[in-house]
Amino acid sequence: MMFSRVSGFAAGLTAAVSLIALQTSPALAFDPTGNEIADAFLTLLDSEEGTVQSYGSVDASGNTVTISDLLITNEDDKDAKVTIVSTVLTGGELQSNGRLKLENLTLENLELAADDGGMSLDNISVSALVLPSAEEAKTNDSPVGPGYESFEATSIQIRDEDGKVADIQKISSSIDSMDGDLPTSGQFAITGATIDVKQIEADEAKSLTDLGYETLSVDVSGSGKWDPDAATINVPALNINAKDAASLTISFSLGGVTRDVVTQLNETSDNPEEAMALLQNITIANAKIRLDDESLTGRILDQEAQKAGVEVPVYVSGLTGGLPMMLGVLQNKELEAKVTEAVTEFLTTPGSLEIAASPAAPVPVAQIMGTAMFAPQMIPQILSVGITANQ
């Protein structure tokens, strides 16, 4: 909901996006504007927790409706409110099923305030947006498939009661292709997320400040493509890059992802047991995790060696010397040797560390789960796991 706690990054984003997906209440708190597109939009914003308290003006020009100075309050919390200087609805169309379709929605200068913090942003722009009907909103039944084509939010500030927690330059996402009501490809990016280390949880902050970080700047991006005819999903790269720390890249390809599986997963999203049962026949064709160091490993080794009262090379030698005994549980001498060699090289000269699963044939998730229960040491073999350093 709009007035949920804004104590962290995810909560702040949820609060922003929730502006376009609120539950409606039977009675409207605002005076109707006389414009059916504006009234339909305001009806969705007017909820039991959030109430459209007032708006400045409603202007229509061609297919564009502009609502100025929106004020949304919470009758249960006098300190909670949302203000939006300008709301622009372009190409609005009320559909026969009661949904509101917009070519574009733009919110400018949004401010969310609450007693435990808040959030502000310069602009949200959403294209090809489909909002639920009032009845669907009441029952929390959103339209089938993605409700937008592209989303972008800029200049976001998230804060708690003690001050600013994070700045984010831009958040963007897009649905690039569809198969009926189901998305088949898309991408997203979070650019320039700068976190104030002192403002996050005490234990986490202490660990980061001990490593020499006062702020942490992070970029996240990813893309994916689903081929419903081949029943495959390919994620070429999910990237998490923390400046002056490290970057993590994950990629994978899955099989057995049919239209029926995707539809049923959407329908069982609130039932983990049913969802897990559906995943049993999905196969893993390949997967890769790569870590590229940008100073984080060296900082950690320096810190731990100092605690142990030894030089870094001596500390690393102690760590790597115990690897063969630790890896004995794998019962795979060849893999033990590869892991020991790669980890030793990475810790001695931090560069990159990559773990790849490249089975000769796709492996069903059911087989992996069964192996994990009864013979976990066999998982690296059935997935043909390999590891390399500094390549």
Q: 338-353: per-residue pLDDT in tens? A: 999 999 999 999 999 9
In the numeric block, the tokens 């890896």 are attached to: 327
pLDDT at residue 115 greater than cutoff 90:
no
* 145 closest CA partner among 169, 177, 121, 187: 177
Distances in whole angstroms, Cα of residue 95 to Cα of each of 64, 129, 219, 353: 17, 12, 38, 53
What are 238-255's pLDDT values in tens digits? 999 999 999 999 999 999
Q: Residue 211, class by beta-carbon neighbours within 10 Å (0-12 exposed, 13-18 middle, 19+ buried)? A: middle
Burial 306-317 (b: 16+ CB within 10 A, else e): eeeeeebeebbe
User: Which pLDDT band, with edges at 50, 70 and 90, does 28 fall under?
Assistant: low
Residue 368 CB neighbour total at 10 angstroms = 18
Residue 145 has pLDDT above 80, yes or no: no
Mean pLDDT for 27-55 is 79
H helical segments located in the chain: 9-17, 36-45, 134-138, 202-210, 259-267, 272-279, 296-308, 312-321, 323-326, 333-348, 365-374, 379-382
Percent of the chain scored above 70 by pLDDT?
88
Instruction: Judge whether 33 and 8 are in contact, CB under 8 Å.
Output: no
pLDDT score recorded for residue 295: 96
Supply the pLDDT for residue 278.
86
Most confident of 3-7, 111-115, 237-241, 268-272: 237-241
Average pLDDT of the chain is 86
**C-alpha to C-alpha distance for 318 and 316, rounded to whole angstroms:** 5
